[in-house]
Amino acid sequence: MRFGGEQPVRALRDITLQIPDGEFTAIVGPSGCGKSTLLRIVAGLLEPTEGTVSVRGKTPDQARRDVEFGFVFQSPVLFPWLRALGNVLLPDRILGDRNPAHGSNMDELARRLLAQLGLAGFEGHYPGQMSGGMRQRVALARALIYQPSTLLMDEPFGALDEFTRDRLNLQLVEVWSNSGTTVLFVTHSIQEAIYLADRVVVLSARPGRISRIAAVPFGRPRPLAIRYEPDFASLTGELRSLLEEDPDTTDGMVT
Amino acid sequence: MTAESPMRKGRPKWRTVVPAALLFFAALVVWEVIVRAFEVPAYILPSPTEILTELIAEGRSLTTDLGWTMLEAVLGFLAGSSAAFLAAVIFVHVPIVERAAFPWAIVLQTVPIVAIAPLLTIWFGFTLVPKVVIAAIICFFPVLVNTTRGLRSVSGEALELMSVLSARRSSIFWRLRIPSSLPYVFAGLRVAATLSVIGAIVAEFTGSDRGIGYVIVQAAYRIDTRLMFAGIALSSLGGILFFNIISWLEKAAIRWPDARMEDQ
């Protein structure tokens, strides 16, 4: 896989991955291992130089045009001139008839999503009046409003403090379990990956390769405290040692 | 970030206005005292009170002249800014046009306006046209540069978001680029507003029978320094007024609190 620029960088190689509908898959790896690139290839935002991706039988580009994807970025990417509610409704304004949920009461749906994410009463706030965690929740609601079949998340909580992050993890799992959406969640935190996902894909350093696909053995719902249990800790340690074997992965190792 | 800060923080008004007004009046008092103490002749430097007397005496005809100058400035501002906005929109969407035209926009910017003004007077006579054209030319560049930058101020992720929603180009333009550009556009317009008054006056210097520029040139021939100062004061007032109208429009258009899109 290569992309433009004067010196093409081989960001990924030999990625073979099958993701069942409705599954929560986390991708962990050191910084620069091509996690974000992988996500953008799946979303049809980047073309792979080699290989194919199939999303529910379609090419990524076709799937993108059919609005199969919700995308949550590392930063919230809210429009500062729209209030929280306006930001959540933005996809509906852009999609119009192409929004599968269009025609039903979108306003109502947007308010319900915001309430589920703990933002009831903040519908009229501008992004400039909200904290980082609140903005990222608005971004999540914006990605879910048109009920995409696949939710792609690119280190969405990486810039938040630990408490905010824990709360958002809980809310994300709750919203996801009500939606039936397939989630592909990129993070550099092994702990977060295991806590959230059904399966964790560990990528090695550049060019990113799959070094392990681990099924997470814990049932749901998972209390936050599960992260301190021995089984959880040993799985975390196991995946971490995979990353540490790699000589080039000394940076970007965050729990 | 930009040469002109796109948004300014709100502060209690009196805290910015009062110190500035005090300094202004203090300067006037010092001026008055110096002129009186050293008995400076009025044709060299009239005192503020003399200028004020002149302003009141000539008030009627000066206001008419200011009206003409402002009309020229505003028409030039509208023409120049709209042309610049359109050019910026084309630049952002068709990069080849930008590469072809932008160097010439810079050349146009470096041509001394004073040098073109007499030429335009030959072509269009003592009409409004040369003044409006000069004001338009002088407004063009700051609006072009700021608008181009504003339309490009959109983050890569915001464009990816639009792509994920497979938004049409028109959607991206109206829902993302235009609102993102507004703070930049207004920064350019504020500069253009003051420049347009300067442009109109410069054009009046070289060929006109009315307007503040005409008054100043005529007064200079007669070494009527008092009238010159009255003209200078009035034209500054016109520029300040225009600037404030644009600032007020900016506040009306940009109501959201400052938040860069990359903000966490």
Distance of residue A65 Cα from the nearest chain B Cα, in angstroms: 6
Q: Is residue B1 domain-resident?
A: no
Distance of residue A78 Cα from the nearest chain B Cα, in angstroms: 6
What pLDDT score does B11 carry?
Answer: 61
Q: Is residue B200 domain-resident?
A: yes
Q: Which residue of A has its CA nearest to B158?
A: A77
Cβ contact, residue pair A69, B164, below 8 Å = yes
Cβ contact, residue pair B261, A78, below 8 Å = yes
Q: For A28-75, write each residue's pLDDT tens digit.
A: 988 777 888 889 999 999 988 888 888 888 999 999 999 999 999 999
* Beta carbon pairs, A and B, within 8 Å: 82
Contact A130, A162 (CB under 8 A): no
Percent of chain B whose pLDDT exceeds 70: 93
Burial category of B152 from C-beta neighbours within 10 Å (exposed 0-12, middle 13-18, buried 19 and up): middle
Question: Which of B160, B165, B259 has the CB atom closest to A128's CB atom?
Answer: B259
Strands A210-215 and A199-203 come out as antiparallel
Query: ∠ at Cα B245 (B242, B248), nearest 5°?
Result: 150
Centre a 10 Å sphere on the Cβ of residue B114 and count the other Cβ atoms it contains. Answer: 12
What CATH code is carried by the domain that includes residue B199?
1.10.3720.10
Q: Is residue B8 domain-resident?
A: no
Between the alpha carbon of residue B143 and those of residues A55, A233, B91, the distances in Å are: 45, 59, 13
Cβ contact, residue pair A77, B165, below 8 Å = no
Cβ contact, residue pair B257, A76, below 8 Å = no
Average pLDDT over residues B7-29: 80
Q: Against a cut of 0.80, is the pTM above it?
A: yes
Cβ contact, residue pair A76, B264, below 8 Å = yes
> Rounded to the nearest 10 degrees, how much is the dihedral formed by the CA atoms of A184, A185, A190, A192?
-120
Question: Which of A69, A80, A95 has the CB atom closest to B261's CB atom?
Answer: A80
Which carries the bigger pLDDT value, residue A123 or residue A35? A123
Instruction: Provide DSSP, A136-176.
Output: HHHHHHHHHTT--SEEEEESTTTTS-HHHHHHHHHHHHHHH
* ipTM exceeding 0.90, yes/no: no
Confidence grade of residue B30 (pLDDT, cut at 50, 70, 90): very high
Contact B200, B72 (CB under 8 A): yes
Report the mean per-residue pLDDT for chain B.
Answer: 90
Q: Is residue B15 domain-resident?
A: no
Confidence grade of residue A19 (pLDDT, cut at 50, 70, 90): confident
E strand or H helix at A199, and its extent? Answer: strand A199-203
Question: Which of A75, A80, A129 has the CB atom closest to B264's CB atom?
Answer: A75
Kindly list the structural domains of chain A, giving each domain's residue range(s) and its CATH number in brackets, ordered by start.
1-68+150-255 (3.40.50.300), 79-148 (no CATH)
Q: Is residue B160 domain-resident?
A: yes
Between the alpha carbon of residue B43 and those of residues A134, B51, B52, B187, B224, the distances in Å are: 67, 11, 15, 39, 6
Q: How far apart are CA A60 and CA A49, in angstroms?
A: 14
Residue B98, pLDDT > 60, answer yes
- Residues 18-57 of chain A whose Cβ lies under 8 A from any Cβ of chain B: 40, 43, 45
Q: Which residues, 6+ apart, have CB-to-CB distance to A192 below 8 Å?
A: A26, A157, A165, A169
Q: Is residue B93 domain-resident?
A: yes
What pLDDT score does B259 carry?
Answer: 53
Nearest CA to A74 out of A173, A185, A170, A149 is that of A185
What pLDDT score does A11 carry?
Answer: 62
SS3 at position A248: coil
Centre a 10 Å sphere on the Cβ of residue A63 and count the other Cβ atoms it contains. Answer: 22
Taking the Cβ of residue B256 and every Cβ of chain A, the question of whether any pair is shorter than 8 Å is answered with: yes
Structural domains of chain B, count: 1
- Residues 172-211 of chain A whose Cβ lies under 8 A from any Cβ of chain B: none
Taking the Cβ of residue B39 and every Cβ of chain A, the question of whether any pair is shorter than 8 Å is answered with: no
Q: How far apart are CA B20 and CA A136, in angstroms?
A: 43
Distance of residue A221 Cα from the nearest chain B Cα, in angstroms: 29
Handedness of CA B60, B61, B67, B70 (dihedral sign): negative
Q: Is residue B73 domain-resident?
A: yes
Contact B60, B120 (CB under 8 A): no
Q: Is residue B16 domain-resident?
A: no
User: For residue B148, what are the domain limits?
Assistant: 46-253
Residue A111, pLDDT > 90, answer yes
* Length of chain B in terms of residues written: 264
Please tell me which of A57-61, B102-106, B130-134 the model is most confident about, judged by mean pLDDT: B130-134
User: Which DSSP symbol is given to B125?
Assistant: T
What pLDDT score does B12 carry?
Answer: 67
User: Which DSSP symbol is given to A69?
Assistant: E
* Length of chain A in terms of residues written: 255
Q: For A166-192, write each residue's pLDDT tens digit.
A: 999 999 999 999 888 999 999 989 999
> Residue A90 has which token pair?
């933005």
- Residue whose structure tokens are 């009831």: A120
Residue A247, pLDDT > 60, answer no
Distance of residue B82 Cα from the nearest chain A Cα, in angstroms: 23
Please provide residue A27's backbone torsions phi and psi, each rounded to the nearest 5 degrees: -115, 120
Centre a 10 Å sphere on the Cβ of residue B198 and count the other Cβ atoms it contains. Answer: 17
Query: ∠ at Cα B76 (B106, B179), nearest 5°?
Result: 75
Contact A2, A10 (CB under 8 A): yes
